Amino acid sequence: MDQRFHLQHSQKQVLSPQIRQYFRLLQIPRAELEQAIQAEMAENPLLEEDPRSAAEDTPLPSEAESDRASDSPTELQVGETFDTFDRMSESLQNEWDGDDLSKSDAGQSQKLKDFQDSLLTNPETLSAFLFWQAGLLDLTEAEQKIMAQVIGNIDESGYLKSTPEELAAVCGVSEDAVQAIIARVRTFDPPGVGARDLREALLLQLDRKGPEAGLARAIVADHLPLLEKRDLRQLAHVLETDLGKIQEAIRQITALDPKPGRAFYTGGPTAITPDASVVFADDDPDRLKIEIHDEPARGVRINAYYRRLLRNRSSDEKTKIFIREKLQAALNFMKALELRGSTLREITNEIVKVQSEFFRKGFSHLMPLRLKDVANTLGIHESTVSRAIQGKYIATPQGTIPYKSFFSTRLETTSGEAESQKSIQEAVRRLIQQEDPAHPLSDQDLAEQLAGRGIKIARRTVAKYREMLKILPTHLRKQR
């Protein structure tokens, strides 16, 4: 056999640990943020709670302060240097070199009042959540038809119950076209959705964890029967690794969700903790004021005892190395928390600018807004906006609603103005509410009435919106 060496040059994007931590904290809603902070403090002895944080009651930031905050960088592009974290690290390091980190300027710590939890009695369904994500894609009419069939055949546990062959026959397209849409659905949240069985659901979730889940992926992909038997020694033998690594891989697997759609199971009322709120200012009823509820993040500081220990000449070098490592980890965590808050504030600011009429008048006044629009305005990546709003809620004068409710695709009207999908859905709802129960409007009637208002959409689009609103078809709404 002729063996030769070949050089291959390739470019690869690598996320640093600091950026991964920022992304992880960014997608955590407020209800889980405190748990993440407690877990980090348990892991790192240099982090501790600031007992004075809970006692402070500083005023809310002014609009000028909010504008200045929006000038701070929030996006850390993959492959770029870690300049943003480095600048913030230098600031925190200067405090470390001073008298005491706990003596921070009270004006920098903005204690926001607690917001009363809201109850959502009508939780969102998995299919509605999937359709919302599909609406953010640029799909052709044929692809939209396939997407509707794929999502319609996903059960409440998140599993795809029809084969590509069956879906292709229904849609009158090739299996490759169906497989391409299934692959896109499997990139949606919750992770694992669109799988056909348990093995695929676990693999889809492990794929998102990257190389660190390589061993766990190998176990699920090729040795699921041994995993079911909990035969750890045989797994270690087959995979040629030690028992400790097998146990760690199994811990990763058992942390996965065998039913990806479980979070959307309907039950009793769900307690929601808003991550932000938008209210009318007391001094100006026409001015909207933003409040970001990030109290847990601002109640963290570095323990001054370890600073003194690091400066103590009698401390051995091994102790100093340990403290320096934990100090850098603590600084990175605090920087990630600060970036999380500033990113969420910038996105909320942009939502308020675009959707100001919604906050005053309701859903019928929602403007078209895409994740890409906000990302381009803020100069960040679209995936960062998606992470930031995932699972988060905002309290408004119109009620407590998900951040993602403010985003929908843009539809042009005959008058030249743009309407959002949500505002058109609201128009459909109002028309049906005003109809004669004895002679309800058909989908074609609704399309014609909307066209009279300058909103020209197809009958099948009206039918889709009506189904998303959970409104019965004409013959079932008719009252004799």
Round the average pLDDT of the chain to a whole number and report it: 76
- Residue 195's pLDDT is 92
Residue 214 vs residue 272, higher pLDDT: 214
Q: Are 202 and 212 in contact (CB under 8 A)?
A: no
Inform me whether the pLDDT recorded for 94 exceeds 90: no
Whether 176 shows a pLDDT value over 50: the answer reads yes
| DSSP tag of 59 | P
Cα–Cα distance, 49 to 301 (Å, whole number): 6
* 254-288 per-position pLDDT tens digit: 788 888 887 776 554 456 788 999 988 888 878 88
Arithmetic mean of pLDDT, 220-245: 82
Q: Give the highest mean pLDDT range of 87-96, 189-198, 208-217.
A: 189-198
pLDDT recorded at residue 3: 58
In this predicted structure, the answer to whether residue 349 has a pLDDT above a threshold of 90 is yes
Report how far residue 337's alpha carbon sits from residue 343's, in angstroms, rounded to the nearest whole number.
10
**20 or 336: whose pLDDT is higher?**
336
> Has residue 247 got a pLDDT over 60?
yes
Long-range contacts of the stretch 214-217 (C-beta < 8 A, 24+) = 215/239, 215/241, 215/245, 215/246, 215/248, 215/249, 216/249, 216/250, 216/252, 216/253
Which of the four pLDDT bands, split at 50, 70 and 90, describes residue 369? confident
Using the predicted structure, report yes or no on whether residue 219 has a pLDDT greater than 90. Answer: no
pLDDT surpassing 60 at residue 429: yes
- Residue 435 is predicted with a pLDDT of 86
The pLDDT value given to residue 81: 33
Cβ(278)–Cβ(400) under 8 Å? no
Peptide bond into 190 cis (omega under 30): yes
Cα–Cα distance, 219 to 12 (Å, whole number): 27
Confirm if 103 and 94 have CB atoms less than 8 A apart.
no
Tell me the domain boundaries of the chain: 20-50+61-75+82-114+274-402, 126-264, 408-477
In this structure, are strands 276-280 and 393-396 parallel, antiparallel, or unpaired? parallel
Question: What is the mean pLDDT of the segment spanning 471-478?
Answer: 77
- 63 vs 460, higher pLDDT: 460
CATH code for the part of the protein at 408-477: 1.10.10.60
Mean pLDDT of 64-89: 40
Mean pLDDT of 37-51: 85
Higher-confidence residue of 106 and 238: namely 238
Q: What is the mean pLDDT of residues 184-204?
A: 90
For residue 113, what pLDDT band results from cuts at 50, 70 and 90? Answer: very low
pLDDT category at 78 given cuts 50, 70, 90 is very low
From the number of C-beta atoms within 10 Å of its C-beta (0-12, 13-18, 19+), residue 42 rates as exposed
Q: How confident is the model at residue 58 (pLDDT cuts 50, 70, 90)?
A: very low
Model pLDDT, residue 105? 37
Q: What is the gyration radius of the CA atoms in the chain, in angstroms?
A: 26
Q: How confident is the model at residue 409 (pLDDT cuts 50, 70, 90)?
A: low
What percentage of the chain exceeds 90 in pLDDT? 11
* C-alpha 258: how far from chain center: 20
Q: Sorting pLDDT into bands at 50, 70 and 90, what band is 177? A: very high
* Residue 105 structure tokens: 């300027």
Does pLDDT of 84 surpass 60? no
Predicted confidence (pLDDT) at residue 238 exceeds the cutoff of 90: no
pLDDT value at 68 more than 60 = no
